[in-house]
Amino acid sequence: MKNVKLSFSGLAAPDLDGRSRTEVFVNVEADLTVLDGGREVLRAGAFPVVELASALCAWKARPSDDRGDFTLTSLSLEGHWRLRLLRSTDGWQVVDDGHPDAFTGAPHSAVFTGAARSAAEVDAAIDEFTTRLRDDCLQLLGPWIEQYFD
């Protein structure tokens, strides 16, 4: 079992009206699951997975010792994605900040900090996620979608 895993299911684009970056990032969605050490850290429905993949690939393209922390600033999610990749003294950690209740502001879940993972391990999880997503997007939408995975 991999220590960090990003997976998706139910890839769809029911509201996709065009091929612009904004249209694709907002309207190509899937149910997303993030695991760390076999523990479910995040499950989110109708998540903008192409936008996430693009941001993760851009972050991963930087040398690991030059990377800052990863937080997704999304076109369609309010605020920021609550799950982050943070540098620690021993590598990278998946951190879930929890999410506040819309009415009370109290967190629904406790903050989760995963084990320290090497850059190679985190990069492999990103590669596995984006490769599968690209393949499924090509089947669903056609070859034009590949430009968002470069």
User: How are beta strands 70-71 and 83-88 bridged, if at all?
Assistant: antiparallel
Cα 124 from Cα 122, distance rounded (Å): 5
Q: Helices 49-60 and 119-141: crossing angle, nearest 10°? A: 140
Taking the CB of residue 128, how many other CB atoms lie within 10 A of it?
15
- Selected residue with higher pLDDT from 108 and 40: 40
For the stretch 78-121, pLDDT in tens is 766 778 898 988 889 888 876 554 444 445 555 677 888 999 99
Q: The pTM is what?
A: 0.88
Q: Is residue 32 within a helix (H) or strand (E), and if so which, with residue range?
A: strand 29-36
Model confidence at 149: pLDDT above 60: yes
